[in-house]
């Protein structure tokens, strides 16, 4: 007498059966109802009247909306609220917090990073993870700190994007373009004397260049009427400590520029 059929086989047996079928050349599932390949396909109904054309949304609409919203902001607090309410960027749906800025508004030096990571997303502040700790130590070496209350010794820090991309992936071109008007307005309201861009994403976004950070770093540029110094991102220094020598040279160049 054979065993009764078990509708719930052992998963290992099912996996073995599947592997056997793959080795035998099975490449598709057979449907329960046979398909007549010779049957005539039903014809699509012919429209009796031309459908009413629908307006096509402009591809630049979210960016244009961001520019209009940013232009109406007269203070950093208004900009923060406007960005928090902005629904044009899908990154907001997967983020915990808006990561706006840290440090002293009006500081001589404004740092622009790439995008928030896990720690930044949790705390709502830029550069608070391992990279942020290294950044603090780097700028402390030339007498600058985000905790300083004197604009001459203070830092003001933000990112190109205020929301964390899923899995810490690189921001897309569309995401950067969409949020760029907010970044431009952020710079205008913070009114720094010098901008430091950290990493590829920030450098390319603010300087509008295709050059990589390896070529850009250490070479002063200009954006929005401000001198801009590109530097390696602290995360890159953690991955490759040999880059710290170049970062130190950039810090000295910044110190000399500030006089």
Please give the pLDDT value at position 10: 73
Please give the pLDDT value at position 201: 95
Please give the pLDDT value at position 50: 45
Compute how many other C-beta atoms are within 10 angstroms of the C-beta atom of residue 60: 12
Q: How far apart are CA 221 and CA 117, in angstroms?
A: 27
Global pTM reads 0.76
> Are 139 and 91 a contacting pair, CB within 8 Å?
no
Please give the pLDDT value at position 96: 95
Full pLDDT tens readout for the chain, 259 residues:
445 555 556 777 777 777 766 666 555 566 666 666 566 655 655 554 444 444 444 454 677 999 999 999 999 999 999 999 999 999 999 999 999 999 999 999 999 999 999 999 999 999 999 999 999 999 999 999 999 999 999 999 999 999 999 999 999 999 999 999 999 999 999 999 999 999 999 999 999 999 999 999 999 999 999 999 999 999 999 999 999 999 999 999 999 999 9
Please give the pLDDT value at position 51: 42
- Ordered domains of the chain (ranges, CATH): 62-258 (3.40.470.10)
Please state the length of the chain. 259
């Amino acid at each position: 007498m054979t065993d009764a059929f078990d509708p719930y086989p052992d998963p290992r047996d099912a996996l073995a059966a599947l592997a056997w079928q793959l080795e035998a050349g099975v490449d598709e599932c057979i449907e329960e109802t046979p398909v007549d390949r010779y049957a005539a396909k039903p014809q699509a109904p012919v429209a009796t009247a031309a459908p009413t054309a629908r307006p096509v949304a402009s591809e630049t609409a979210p960016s244009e909306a961001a520019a209009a919203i940013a232009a109406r902001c007269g203070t950093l607090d208004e900009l923060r609220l406007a960005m928090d309410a902005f629904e044009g960027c899908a990154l907001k749906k997967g983020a915990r917090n808006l990561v706006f800025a840290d440090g002293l508004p009006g500081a001589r030096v404004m740092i622009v990073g790439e995008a928030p990571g896990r720690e930044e997303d949790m705390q709502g502040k830029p550069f608070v993870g391992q990279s942020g700790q290294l950044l603090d130590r780097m700028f402390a070496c030339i007498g600058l700190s985000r905790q300083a209350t004197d604009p001459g010794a203070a830092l003001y820090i933000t990112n190109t994007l205020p929301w964390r991309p899923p899995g810490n992936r690189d921001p897309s071109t569309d995401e950067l373009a969409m949020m760029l008007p907010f970044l431009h307005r952020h710079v205008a309201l913070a009114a720094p004397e010098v901008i430091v861009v950290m990493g590829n994403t920030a450098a390319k976004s603010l300087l509008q260049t295709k050059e990589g950070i390896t070529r850009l770093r250490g070479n002063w540029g200009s954006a929005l009427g401000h001198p801009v110094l590109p530097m390696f991102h602290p995360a890159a220094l953690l991955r490759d400590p040999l880059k710290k020598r170049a970062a130190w040279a950039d810090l000295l160049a910044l110190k000399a520029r500030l006089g």
